[in-house]
Amino acid sequence: GPSLNDLARQSGRRFGSCVGTGRPGTLTGTFADPAYRDLLVAECGLLVAENEMKWGALRPSADLFSFDRAEILLNFAKEKGLAFRGHTLLWHHVKWLPAWLNSHDFGADPVKGVEKMLTDHVAMVAGSYKNRITSWDVVNEAVDADTGLMRETAFTRHVPAETVLDITFHKAREVLPQGQLVYNDYMSWEPGHAKHRDGVLRLLEGFRKRGTPVDALGVQSHIMVIDGGPRYEEAAWKRFIDEVVGMGYGLLITEFDVNDKGLPGDIVARDQGVADYARAYLDMMLSYKQTGDVLAWGMVDKYSWLQGFTPRTDKKPQRCCPYDENFQPKPLREAIAASL
């Protein structure tokens, strides 16, 4: 049958997944499993690095760049004829920036120091791959999900957060005049995301007012069946998306997976519940012609970041991805196929 990427291509989209090389210093991630590599080749038209292009991976210290692990993934994609997205030039979140940066001394003229740090990074990273990577999550998660305000980082001690983002996007545009520059975040349609959605809207409005070159909103799409659910705010979400596209932004689904914490343990019913929830979400998102590429944040349950990040209370593995531990397709795979 057709691959997920074949199906996506019928509507001018691409389907892809993240892939990772594992913990720093090891090669134990999804990439190391040959069955996983085969699955990526079978289903995907593009890949994204799970961690290998973040500051934590590329910048062991202030004056060192380390591209080795990113190169492993890029070389694989090239060999297999798969496209590659960039993630991310600036994850504007102290929790995910390297420790050295969070305590960095930006020198006698810290405003200049911040600007130089950001522009050097974009020039080096986006510049090195400009012939291979034309779509970047330029900035990731700059809006605080609880308050809707901009996150504070080492950079914002000296420069307002909006300016930090503007500097980064402008440099990205200079390096990639034709590139797709994306603001990526995890506001979602479940209850509890209203402030996050509002904050992202204010940020996107500000970009337009200031002429910041941003082409699309990356909707991470870590969707979740909440306890007693599924529950989602479809009308509020559509108002949000309508405002986003109304400002002329494109859309991408950048990190799709389904957190099944709210579903009882039984596997058959759980897999169906996950699939139904995904179908409702993807049908809604793909009803927007502005929605472009669709990427899963992992293809196989046992390798998903959710196993560690949000384990189920019954300790059973999350069944959040399109394929099970034996690389067999699950109802979620069929739901994605049906939506595409």
Q: Site residues (CB under 6 A) for ligand XIL?
A: 50-51, 140, 220, 255, 305
Angle at 131 (CA atoms; ends 127, 133), nearest 5 degrees: 80
Angstrom CA distances, 256 to 197, 220, 223, 311, stand at: 18, 6, 7, 17
Residue facing ligand XIL at closest CB distance: 305
Q: What is the dihedral of CA 241, 244, 245, 251, to 10 degrees?
A: -80
Task: Identify the CA nearest to 168 among candidates 138, 192, 188.
Answer: 138
- Are residues 48 and 21 in contact, defined by beta-carbon separation less than 8 angstroms? no
By C-beta, is 159 or 296 nearer to ligand XIL? Answer: 296
Considering the complex, what minimum distance in angstroms separates the CB of residue 50 from ligand XIL? 5
Instruction: Say how many Å lie between the first and final Cα of the chain, rounded.
Output: 14
Among all chains, which residue has been given the structure tokens 């659910």?
229
By C-beta, is 144 or 276 nearer to ligand XIL? Answer: 144
By C-beta, is 7 or 73 nearer to ligand XIL? Answer: 73
How many whole angstroms separate alpha carbon 28 and alpha carbon 23?
A: 7
By C-beta, is 7 or 150 nearer to ligand XIL? Answer: 150
By C-beta, is 15 or 305 nearer to ligand XIL? Answer: 305
How many whole angstroms separate alpha carbon 230 and alpha carbon 209?
A: 37
By C-beta, is 56 or 127 nearer to ligand XIL? Answer: 56
Considering the complex, what minimum distance in angstroms separates the CB of residue 150 from ligand XIL? 17
Considering the complex, what minimum distance in angstroms separates the CB of residue 254 from ligand XIL? 8
Considering the complex, what minimum distance in angstroms separates the CB of residue 85 from ligand XIL? 12
Considering the complex, what minimum distance in angstroms separates the CB of residue 8 from ligand XIL? 21
Considering the complex, what minimum distance in angstroms separates the CB of residue 277 from ligand XIL? 19
